[in-house]
Structure 1
Amino acid sequence: MLSKSQLLLIVVGICLNAAASADVDCSKRPPFVNPKTCCPMPDFVTAELKQKCSKFDMTPPPPSDGEATGSFESTRRHHHPHPPPCFFSCIFNETGIYQNQKLDQDKLKSYLQVVFKDSSDLQTAATQAFTTCATKIIEFEANLPARPSPPPGLPLCPHDAGHLMGCVFRNLMKNCPDSVRNDSQECTDMKEFFTKCKPPRGPPPPFGDDK
């Protein structure tokens, strides 16, 4: 049985946590910090894959008014360009990780052991992110309106690959492993804001894009 002093410490801890939560002002977004500063990790796309898929590494122009309503690229495009769908379709086709809206867990595991070879925690977090997001993307894609034809010269690629990477990136930033996370004040403020406040809609910067 806990002593009175132990019970007091627990109560104080709960009160402090509640006070900390109440201190987050969701109407004031903290200063921008590059997410990869707060959760530093190697690039997800290897140099070899970047070379193989380089011709697809292009971001489509913004949709005209009324197009892509409800899709990830329809909001906040001027802040965060959408991960190029053809580029990530190429990446997934080359690795076999994700095809026809199906995630291959074995190939994902093998690939993560290469790109995140120095962190088993990142491998675990990324596996969980991919598993969660693959299910979400199926539901999301099913509710999208019909897509317009791409501008001349641009290929028509399924957007689920880019959507998946955007979801994985957000998931990893939110659930960055303790062994990797940067606990600076600016990063802590940003994490608390996006954890306790409703995040803005729209995709993050392309996963592993340092351009």
Structure 2
Amino acid sequence: MDFTSLRKCCATPNLKIQPFRQSCGKYMKMKGTVMPPCLFECILNSSEALNGTQLNVDNARRLIEKLVGNYKDFVDVYTQALQTCTANETDLLKFKRRRFLGSETCSALPLYLASCVLKKSFINCPSANWTHSEKCENAREFSMNCNRFSGGVLVADFVL
């Protein structure tokens, strides 16, 4: 099964990043629909959702509410996923120290968190957004049992 097919298993909301144009606009100059890693970091920092490796749950929830808009079912799913993904401080520190593709300014931590949240939200996709098919159920089961690293990556592209 290809990743494009997997993306259809859980109908996730497009992220609304426009509220962050003032604080993160310099990272919004992108080609295509993939969000640059520095944009993830800027959004996390400007929302104060993450302080170093510590998650501020209230700020994270407010951030997620801004990002998903009317998709209220995903606020709890994404917030819980973010809490789970920030629980292992050893992994967080490892990714915080890394720089993305040789960048001297952007940490790999936000991209790691986004990948982890996508995996967890795929597994816990709200029923109304889930495609009940054999392929999707098999992909969900595989994702639940695949632990290449604690965050895991199921779908690694992030669409605006």
TM-score range, shorter chain: 0.7 to 0.9
The answer to whether the aligner puts 1:46 opposite 2:17 as a matched pair is: yes
State how 1:34-113 maps to structure 2 within 5 Å: 34=4, 35-49=6-20, 53-56=24-27, 84-113=36-65
Match of 1:135 in 2: 87
Match of 1:165 in 2: 114
CA RMSD of the aligned region, Å?
3.3
The answer to whether the aligner puts 1:32 opposite 2:2 as a matched pair is: yes
- What is the CA distance between 1:41 and its match in structure 2? 1.7
Cα–Cα, structure 1 residues 140 and 57, in superposed 2: closer, same or farther, change >3 Å? farther
Runs of 4+ in 1 over 4 A off after TM superposition: 146-151, 199-202
Give, as a single letter, the amino acid of the residue that structure 1 aligns with 2:91: F
The answer to whether the aligner puts 1:183 opposite 2:135 as a matched pair is: no
- Does the Cα contact within 8 Å between 2:99 and 2:105 map onto a contact in 1? no
- What is the CA distance between 1:90 and its match in structure 2? 0.6
d(CA) in 2 for partners of 1:133, 1:149: 19
- What is the CA distance between 1:117 and its match in structure 2? 4.1
- Does the Cα contact within 8 Å between 1:56 and 1:87 map onto a contact in 2? yes
Cα–Cα, structure 1 residues 184 and 162, in superposed 2: closer, same or farther, change >3 Å? same
- Does the Cα contact within 8 Å between 2:81 and 2:121 map onto a contact in 1? yes
> TM-score, normalised to structure 2's length?
0.73
Unaligned segments of structure 2, at least 5 residues: none
Cα–Cα, structure 1 residues 54 and 184, in superposed 2: closer, same or farther, change >3 Å? farther
- Structure showing greater radius of gyration is 1
Cα–Cα, structure 1 residues 205 and 147, in superposed 2: closer, same or farther, change >3 Å? closer
Higher fraction of helix: 2
> TM-score, normalised to structure 1's length?
0.58
Unaligned segments of structure 1, at least 5 residues: 1-30, 60-81
Between the aligned residues of both structures, percent identity stands at 23
- Does the Cα contact within 8 Å between 2:98 and 2:107 map onto a contact in 1? no
d(CA) in 2 for partners of 1:123, 1:148: 29
